[in-house]
Amino acid sequence: MNRTIETLWEKKGFICDMDGVIYHGNKVLPGVHEFISWLEKNNKNYIFLTNSSERSPRELRQKLLRMGLDVDESHFYTSALATASFLASQCPGGSAYVIGEPGLVYALYEAGFSMNDVNPDYVVVGETSTYSYEKILKAVQLVRNGAKLIGTNPDMTGPIENGIAPATRALISPIELTCGKSAYFVGKPNPLMMRHALKKLGTHRSDTVIVGDRMDTDIIAGIETEIETVLVLSGVTAMDELSQYPYQPSFVLSGVGEIPQPEKGE
């Protein structure tokens, strides 16, 4: 691949993951301030496309503000929003039993869904710190009674400040195994998420790049959408793991701080 970093400077649209790319937990990663400043200064269209379903765009904006980053909430799109949009298109005015955080519940409410722990149309699972055996039992009962099982994303793990934490696929697997049914996952690399991102950006895929830290979601999502890919080594995937995959990113960088074009004289 005869690609150089200069080709990234010419892109009009940037789709960026958040966890492992912009921050770990509540710690902003090196070079992020410079990267966002470069995007703004050069009038790039950009969107933070996260598989996390815990927070709303407003909460994500507030989280970045606490880290010293001022990004309008219009620049965020989450797997919770994509899940709510998908379910509303499948079952308008439906109901769900949710194992997840307020960002997911709010997105479903906004899409016209009601919460239901008796006979819901769907059982929806996302990341949560309130996961419990009792909630698993309830979900199993509801799925066995006919509710469809939905995961906000297929991530098995996610980066946190002091290591790696279980993510949605790990949390939903006991329900799948007990019921003998497979969940449908809406987040990356599902093309639904990528179509939403490109529509919000208003850019053609040839003028767009996706930046992420996961080969199994971010990079494969870009490849399957036919947009160039940047793997940053600041999150889940390590350099020595690349050989395990039958596909490769367009670029491999240590972090997003390597993307901005240097100022003249630097």
Same structural domain for residues 196 and 243?
A: yes
Same structural domain for residues 229 and 133?
A: no
- 242, part of any domain: yes
17 is catalytic: yes
Residue of 19, 121, 155, 213 marked active site: 19
Average pLDDT over the chain, rounded to an integer: 93
CA distances, 136 to each of 101, 104, 105, 167, 173 (Å): 15, 17, 17, 15, 10
pLDDT of residue 266: 52
Cis check for the bond before 92: say yes or no (omega within 30 of 0).
no
Contact call for residues 83 and 122 (beta carbons, < 8 A): no
- 66, part of any domain: no
- Kindly indicate the confidence band of residue 25, based on its pLDDT and cuts at 50, 70 and 90: confident
Q: CA–CA separation, 140 vs 176, rounded Å? A: 8
Same structural domain for residues 225 and 206?
A: yes
Q: CA–CA separation, 53 vs 33, rounded Å? A: 24
Residue 189 has pLDDT above 80, yes or no: yes
Residue of 17, 121, 155, 213 marked active site: 17
Average pLDDT rounded to a whole number, residues 27-38: 95
Domain CATH code at residue 21: 3.40.50.1000
Same structural domain for residues 154 and 201?
A: no
- 57, part of any domain: no
Same structural domain for residues 148 and 196?
A: no
Structural domain containing residue 102: 80-185
Tens digit of each residue's pLDDT (9 = 90 or more) over 41-93? 999 999 999 999 999 999 999 999 999 999 999 999 999 999 999 999 999 99
Same structural domain for residues 179 and 217?
A: no
Contact call for residues 77 and 33 (beta carbons, < 8 A): no
- 167, part of any domain: yes
- 58, part of any domain: no
Same structural domain for residues 217 and 233?
A: yes
Nearest of 235, 223, 242, 229 to residue 8 by alpha carbon: 229
Q: What pTM did the predictor assign?
A: 0.90
72 is catalytic: no
- Kindly indicate the confidence band of residue 236, based on its pLDDT and cuts at 50, 70 and 90: confident
Domain boundary among 141, 157, 185: 185
Domain boundary among 185, 216, 237: 185
Q: CA–CA separation, 15 vs 5, rounded Å? A: 16
Domain boundary among 142, 160, 185: 185
Tens digit of each residue's pLDDT (9 = 90 or more) over 92-143? 999 999 999 999 999 999 999 999 999 999 999 999 989 999 999 999 999 9
Same structural domain for residues 180 and 201?
A: no
- 5, part of any domain: no
Same structural domain for residues 197 and 139?
A: no
Q: How many domains does the chain have?
A: 2
- 68, part of any domain: no
163 vs 143, residue with greater confidence:
143
Same structural domain for residues 198 and 220?
A: yes
pLDDT of residue 157: 85
pLDDT of residue 262: 81
Same structural domain for residues 158 and 206?
A: no
Contact call for residues 98 and 104 (beta carbons, < 8 A): yes
Same structural domain for residues 99 and 174?
A: yes
What amino acid is encoded at 4 in this protein? Answer: T
- 69, part of any domain: no
